[in-house]
Amino acid sequence: MPQAHRTPVLIIGAGPAGYTAAIYAARAGLQPILVAGLQPGGQLTITTDVENYPGFAEVIQGPWLMEQMAAQAEAMGTRAIHDIITEIDLSRRPFVAISDSAERFEADTIVIATGASARWLEIPSERVLRGAGVSACATCDGFFYRGKAVAVIGGGNTAVEEAIYLTRHASHVTLVHRRDSLRAERVMRERLFANPKISVIWDHEVDEILGGGTPAVVDGLRLQHVRTGEKRTLALDGVFVAIGHTPNTMIFEGQVEMDRDGYILTSGGNTATSVPGVFAAGDVQDRIYRQAVTAAASGCMAALDAEKFLSHAAREVAVAAY
């Protein structure tokens, strides 16, 4: 039987932003409910080594870091619910959110921390072969390519990190980038260029992922030069797409102001959105920094902003009653 819940602070999303908001809101005695989705932990659960999260001199693992954040949030008094919010009404307070399993949440404030998801090339062959040789997660699927040749598409930190990770399993990794320089940080670029198992193809886009059969497999990649249009084919067994992310904001469309790519707009100095009482933290509102530590920091800000909002609202109610 679906239940109804009431909370001063409903946090939607279980990455660094959501968990940090939960830790701060719980410590402030706001009894937050965190709706964690079905695979809590966000993007750090599909990464491996984390060496830039402050406080850890040794390399730590992304999934471990997220387990620690979840445990800390719960230890502070957060109620974590493993469900997905599918409907939301931000037009009046208390705000109402309905989950996939028909649970109803009423909240005085909401922290949106739904993060961002991997983008795809959106070509027909990719759709057909996704999960059958085409992946967006090297740490999830790299193991299947032991001794095989693979390609990574993209030129950012994710693409470079995935290419380096894949050399643990694959016989050779080809990084395919649409320009002649990488967006990835210098330290990552240096590691990539120093790795003898990686080669880079510059100035090419994916024309088609080749493969098929039953069960379907990938057996190659047809690339096209961005200026000459010339095509070339590579024989390989797996393709990892690492071309950035899209914010997970579909359910908030039309209810809270967003930019043209769907990132939630916050007021600049704090995490307030266009709806009073609704705050946004982490990658869902950040197209620039997108780091675990910046997401965590904005989660902290959102909880403090929600706390301030609630104390103002309580004062207004008290004044009105007087």
Task: Determine the size of the site formed for ligand NDP (CB under 6 A).
Answer: 18
Question: In the annotation, is 140 catalytic?
Answer: yes
Q: What is the 3-state secondary structure (H, E, C) of the chain?
A: CCCEEEEEEEEECCCHHHHHHHHHHHHCCCCCEEECCCCCCHHHHHCCEECCCCCCCCCEEHHHHHHHHHHHHHHCCCEEECCCEEEEECCCCCEEEEECCCCEEEEEEEEECCCEEECCCCCHHHHHHECCCEECCHHHHHHHHCCCEEEEECCCHHHHHHHHHHCCCCCEEEEECCCCCCCCCHHHHHHHHHCCCEEEECCEEEEEEEEECCCCEEEEEEEEECCCCCEEEEECCEEEECCCEEECCHHHCCCCCECCCCCECCCCCCCECCCCCEEECHHHHCCCCCCHHHHHHHHHHHHHHHHHHHHHHHHHHHHHHC
Candidate list 18, 37, 133, 156; residue touching ligand NDP; CB under 6 A: 156
* Binding segment (CB under 6 A) for ligand NDP, from list 1-9, 126-134, 243-251, 266-274: 243-251
Q: Of 183-222, which residues contact ligand NDP (CB under 6 A)? A: 183, 205
Catalytic position from the list 89, 140, 180, 259? 140
Candidate list 48, 157, 266, 273; residue touching ligand NDP; CB under 6 A: 157
- Least Å distance, CB 178 to ligand NDP, is 5
Residue placing its CB nearer to ligand NDP in the complex, 100 or 185: 185
Candidate list 104, 178, 191, 222; residue touching ligand NDP; CB under 6 A: 178
By CB under 6 A, residue 243 contacts ligand NDP:
yes
- Least Å distance, CB 211 to ligand NDP, is 19
Catalytic position from the list 83, 141, 237, 286? 141
By CB under 6 A, residue 179 contacts ligand NDP:
yes
- Least Å distance, CB 27 to ligand NDP, is 28
Catalytic residue ranges: 137, 140-141
Contact positions toward ligand NDP, by CB under 6 A? 52, 121, 153-159, 161, 178-179, 183, 205, 243-245, 290
